[in-house]
């Protein structure tokens, strides 16, 4: 049995609402509050998430608002005491243009967030993309933290991802408080990042909805940036764990001329735009073949047999379609897939036939 206690509540005044722009262009409203002590810490800011939240609370400047900490950590406004509202208080109006670059904001159908679509010229988006690119789980460029990024951006030395690889020591030595050793350390980190594998480069590009796991999945299904660029929406959805929203985001990313130019430039600087195993995959016994895997197997786990297909140059997708070559059928496979495969003329193989196809 578990007990969930009511969160501690406090009241304070809403002084202002400011708007933060993230690396994806998402504009997030943040409430600026009179300081108030709650759950052991002093709170002065709280996220309002999006325009719908502001409208739901019907917020006005100067309102007396109630604050809680979601999960005892994240401050949030839970209500407004309208009896304390001044008659001349101004309602909060969500902006129609980016607070940083003044480009029009766009709200995608079915989403609550507003976005600045000026992705290649909006300063916080550029700096956010660079910080993500250089982060430990992406290109892991030691020395290129947020403070350094801000400094390089303000000096006009870095305005996009490719500029990182154009930096020279003499450029860095002109910066305030930079010496030979710190400059060389950063350049060594940048040079070392060229050894990161393709899936990390793909994650580092900052494609919306493409996190670490999705980047690895895409890199297995399309072992080079150029094959991924050519993939259609239908091709991508066929991959395991890739839904329509992710597929739409990937297709839209590669339709942007600025992004394509940036990828080509990064490739010229030596970043790995294909998997190391690309050549062996192309020459594998299952090269160019597409499989659907269904059921339970004796010699392999489900993940193990998918890995075996991919290591032999094949591709695993999640659903039966005309582009599938084989249905790899294990025990307890659902009848619907078999019926559909037979209707489309797709060859059905069992585990022992599959092992023979591998040449084992």
Instruction: Walk me through the domains of the chain, giving residue ranges and CATH numbers.
Output: 1-115 (2.40.50.140), 123-195 (1.10.150.20), 198-276 (1.10.150.20), 279-357 (3.40.50.10190)
Look at residue 239 in the predicted model and tell me its pLDDT: 85
Are the C-beta atoms of 35 and 98 separated by less than 8 Å?
A: no
Whole-angstrom CA distances from 150 to 14, 138, 162 are 30, 19, 16
Least confident of 44-48, 101-105, 250-254, 309-313: 309-313
Rounded mean pLDDT, 53-58: 94
Sign of the dihedral defined by the CA atoms of residues 237, 238, 242, 247, in that order? negative
HEC string of 196-208 equals CCHHHHHHHCCCC
Taking the alpha carbons of 260, 262, 267, 273 in that order, is the dihedral positive or negative? negative
For the segment 66-111, what is each residue's pLDDT rounded down to a tens digit?
Answer: 999 876 688 999 999 999 999 999 999 999 999 999 999 999 888 8
Average pLDDT score, the chain? 92
Residue 3 has pLDDT above 70, yes or no: yes
**pLDDT (0 to 100) of residue 280:** 53
Q: Which distant-in-sequence residues (6+ apart) come within 8 Å of 109 by Cβ?
A: none
pLDDT band per the 50, 70, 90 thresholds, residue 306: confident
Question: Comparing C-alpha atoms, which of 313, 347, 350 is closest to residue 330?
Answer: 350
Taking the C-alpha atoms of residue 349 and residue 343, their distance in angstroms, rounded to an integer, is 15
- Angle 69-75-78 from CA coordinates, rounded to 5°: 80
Q: Are 213 and 292 in contact (CB under 8 A)?
A: no
115-141 average pLDDT score: 95
pLDDT at 72: 67
The token pair that represents 229 in the structure block: 């660029």
The pLDDT > 90 percentage for the chain reads: 76
Helix, strand, or coil here: 1? coil
What confidence category does residue 323 fall into, taking pLDDT thresholds of 50, 70 and 90? confident
**CA 24 vs CA 123, 246, 262, 264: distances in Å:** 12, 14, 17, 21
Strand-pair category, 26-38 with 326-329: unpaired
Q: Quick one: pLDDT at residue 111?
A: 85
The distance from CA 77 to its chain's CA centroid, rounded to whole angstroms, is 27
203-220 core/surface letters (b: 16 or more CB in 10 A; e: else): bbbbbbebeeebbbbbbb
Q: Which of 310 and 233 is assigned the larger pLDDT?
A: 233
User: How do residues 207-221 score in pLDDT, each as one tens digit?
Assistant: 999 999 899 889 988
| pLDDT for res 288 | 82
Q: Bigger pLDDT: 44 or 283?
A: 44
Share of the chain above pLDDT 70, in %: 97
* Mean pLDDT score, 252-267: 95
What residues does 16 pair with on adjacent strands?
32
């Amino acid at each position: 049995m578990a007990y969930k206690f009511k969160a501690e509540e406090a009241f304070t005044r809403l002084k202002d609402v400011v708007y933060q722009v993230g690396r994806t262009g998402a504009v997030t409203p943040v409430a600026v509050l009179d300081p108030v002590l709650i759950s052991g810490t002093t709170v002065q800011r709280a996220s309002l998430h999006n325009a719908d939240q502001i409208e739901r609370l019907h917020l006005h400047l100067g309102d007396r608002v109630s604050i809680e900490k979601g999960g005892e950590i994240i401050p949030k406004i839970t209500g407004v005491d309208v009896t304390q509202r001044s008659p001349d208080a101004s309602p909060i109006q969500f902006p129609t243009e980016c607070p940083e670059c003044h480009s029009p904001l766009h709200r995608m159908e079915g989403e609550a967030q507003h976005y600045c679509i000026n992705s290649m010229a909006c300063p916080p988006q550029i700096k956010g993309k660079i910080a993500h690119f250089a982060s430990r789980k992406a290109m892991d460029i030691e020395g290129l933290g947020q403070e350094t990024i801000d400094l390089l951006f303000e000096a006009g030395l870095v305005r996009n991802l490719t500029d990182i690889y154009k930096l020279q020591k003499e450029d860095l030595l002109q910066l305030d408080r930079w010496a030979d050793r710190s400059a060389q350390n950063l350049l060594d980190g940048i040079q070392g990042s060229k050894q990161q594998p393709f899936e990390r480069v793909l994650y580092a590009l900052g494609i919306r909805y493409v996190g670490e796991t999705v980047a690895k999945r895409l890199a297995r299904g399309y072992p080079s940036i150029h094959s991924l660029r050519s993939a259609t929406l239908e091709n991508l959805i066929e991959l395991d764990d890739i839904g329509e929203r992710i597929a739409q985001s990937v297709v839209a990313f590669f339709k942007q001329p600025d992004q394509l130019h940036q990828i080509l430039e990064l490739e010229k600087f030596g970043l790995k735009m294909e998997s190391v195993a690309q050549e062996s995959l192309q020459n594998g016994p299952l090269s160019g073949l597409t499989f659907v895997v269904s059921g339970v197997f004796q010699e392999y786990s489900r993940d193990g047999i998918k890995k075996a297909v991919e290591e032999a140059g094949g591709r695993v997708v999640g659903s039966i379609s005309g582009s599938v070559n084989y249905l790899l059928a294990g025990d307890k496979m659902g009848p619907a897939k078999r019926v559909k495969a037979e209707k489309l003329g797709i060859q059905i193989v069992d585990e022992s036939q599959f092992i023979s196809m591998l040449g084992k």
